[in-house]
Chain A
Amino acid sequence: MMQVLFYYMAAVTVVSSVLTVTLKQPVYNVLALLTMFFHVAGLYVLLNAEFLAVVQIIVYAGAILVLYLFVLMLLNLRSDARHMHRQWPFAVLILGSVAAMLVGAFAGGGFGGEIGQYSTAYIDSLGGDTQAIGLTLYTDYLLPFEVASLVLLVAMVGAIVLTKKGLVDDQVED
C-alpha cells in the first residue's frame, strides 16, 4: 500500500513537473505546478514529515503559486509565443545525465551514513514532528531562526523598493 502510494505520488510529481515546462498555455503551466506541489506534499506525508507537508500546501500551493499567477498576468505572456528555448536539447542532455548519475548513486543503497537521533519512535515520544521541529528550532537553531526574520525583512523592503516606481506611476495614472 505504501509502495503503491509512493509510486503514484512520485510518478505524478515527475509527469506534472515535465508538463510545467512543456505546456504551451502559461496558466496551464501554473496548474501543472500546483498538481506537483500537492503531490510533493503527499510524499512528505509518506515520509512522516506532516508539518512540512502542511507548510508545502500553505506556502507553496497557497502563497507562492498566487505570486506566480500575478507575475504571469503582470508579464502578459502570449500563449502563441515560442515557449521552448532553442537550447532545450542541451538542457535535457545535462539534466538527464545529472538524473542518471543520481539514480546510479542511490541505486547502490541510498544515503548511507549513521542514523541520527530523530528516529520515528523518538519523534513519536515528543508528540509529533511539529513538536520535534519546534523543540529543535527554538533552542539549538535560535540564531538561524532570527536570521530568517531578517531575510524576510530584506525581501519585504526589496519588493517595495523595486516596485515603488510602479506604485507611484499607478497613482499618477489614476
Chain B
Amino acid sequence: MTTDFIPSNYLPVLIFFMIAAAFGFVTIIMGKLVRPQNPYREKALPYECGAPPISDARQPFPMRYYIIAMLFVLFDIEAVFMYPWAVVFNDIGIYGLVEMGLFILVLVVGYVYAWGKGALEWD
C-alpha cells in the first residue's frame, strides 16, 4: 500500500464513529453496573408493553417488497451516476447535458414499463 495520501478530512468522521461506538458501550456497561438486578417471574412478563409471541416471526413476505427493493436499487444506481456528472457539469457543458438526457431517457422507459405493469401499485 503506497500511502502518499493521508485522508485528514476524514479525521472528524473517525472521531465521530469512535464517540458513537463508545457511547453505545459506555451506556450499556454503566447501566449494567449501576442498576439493581432483582428479576422475578412477574417482572419478566411483557405486561402493558407487548404481548407474548404466538408464532415464529419469520413469515414469508409478499413478492411486492422484493420488486420495490429491486427498483430502488436500480434508481439508486441511476442517482449515483448523477453525482460526478453534477460536479463537472460546468466543464462538460451541453455535451454532458445531452448524454445525461439520453441516460435518463432509457431509464424513463423502464420507469414507464414498471408503472404500466403495476409494479409500483401496492394494492
Contact = CB atoms under 8 A, between A and B. Distances in A.
Interface stretch (A12-20, A29-37, A66-74, A88-96): A66-74
B100 to A, nearest CB: 8
A55 B80 CA distance: 7
A152 B69 contact: no
A160 B117 contact: yes
Contact of A153 (B85, B88, B95, B107): B107
A73 B60 contact: yes
B17 to A, nearest CB: 9
A156 B71 contact: yes
B121 to A, nearest CB: 8
A127 B87 CA distance: 10
B117 A2 contact: no
A31 to B, nearest CB: 15
Contacts of A55: 80
Name the residue among B80, B84, B99, B111 with the largest chain A CB count within 10 angstroms.
B84
Contacts of B104: 149
A159 B100 CA distance: 24
Contact of A138 (B62, B63, B65, B92): B92
B73 A149 contact: no
A86 to B, nearest CB: 24
Contact of A134 (B65, B66, B84, B107): B84
A97 interface: no
Interface string A125-141: 00110110111011100
Interface stretch (B4-12, B28-36, B40-48): B4-12
Given A146-B106, A159-B67, A167-B119, 14 more contacts: A46-B1, A58-B76, A74-B60, A135-B91, A138-B84, A138-B99, A148-B81, A149-B103, A149-B104, A152-B74, A155-B74, A156-B74, A157-B113, A159-B71
26 contacts: A2-B6, A6-B1, A50-B7, A58-B80, A59-B73, A67-B70, A74-B61, A74-B66, A120-B4, A130-B84, A134-B87, A134-B92, A135-B92, A138-B95, A138-B100, A145-B103, A146-B99, A148-B103, A149-B102, A149-B104, A149-B107, A152-B78, A152-B106, A153-B107, A156-B70, A170-B62
Interface of A: 2-3, 5-6, 45-48, 50-51, 55, 58-59, 62-64, 66-67, 70-71, 73-78, 120, 127-128, 130-131, 133-135, 137-139, 142, 145-146, 148-150, 152-153, 155-157, 159-160, 163-164, 166-167, 169-170, 174
